[in-house]
Amino acid sequence: MTGDEPFIAAVKPLVDAMGGEMLPPDEAGPDDVVLAWQGADIVAVRLPQLADSLDHILAAMERRQGRPLAELDRKAKQEVVRILEARGAFAVRHGVETVAGALGVSRFTVYNYLNREKGV
């Protein structure tokens, strides 16, 4: 697997955004996804565990914001919660606690943000 292949270069940003790992196809395990191009297996993708995925998403959001999520104002934190809910972050075990810690708020506050979004 060489990094200069156009197909690998094309899928790498997606794999990185998911927090996945790229491997040679012959090293793929039963849970890995092998990507083929023009009839040949090119690369295998090892997907992250869901909990690791949430940490990866939170880190990416911090990079985009240019500062820790805990430093955001309330409106921005509510927007982060909305985005995370749309991405399924709260279906992950301890998702609310993980997000609350990253935002520097209580679990109760995260639940309030979620309920506010739903109009409850």
Q: Sign of the CA dihedral 56, 57, 63, 69?
A: negative
Backbone angles phi, psi at 92, to 5 degrees: -80, 140
Q: Band of the pLDDT at 4, cuts 50, 70, 90? A: low
Query: Which tokens go with 120?
Result: 């409850």
Average pLDDT of span 8-34:
91
Q: What is the pLDDT of residues 55-105, one digit of tens each?
A: 888 988 999 999 999 999 999 999 999 999 998 889 888 999 999 999 999
Domain ranges of the chain: 3-46, 51-118
Q: What is the DSSP letter of 92?
A: S
Query: Which tokens go with 93?
Result: 């075990």
Q: Structure pTM?
A: 0.64
Higher-pLDDT residue of 52 and 29 is 29
Q: Is residue 37 packed enough to be buried (19+ CB in 10 Å), middle (13-18) or exposed (0-12)?
A: middle
Quick one: pLDDT at residue 99? Answer: 96
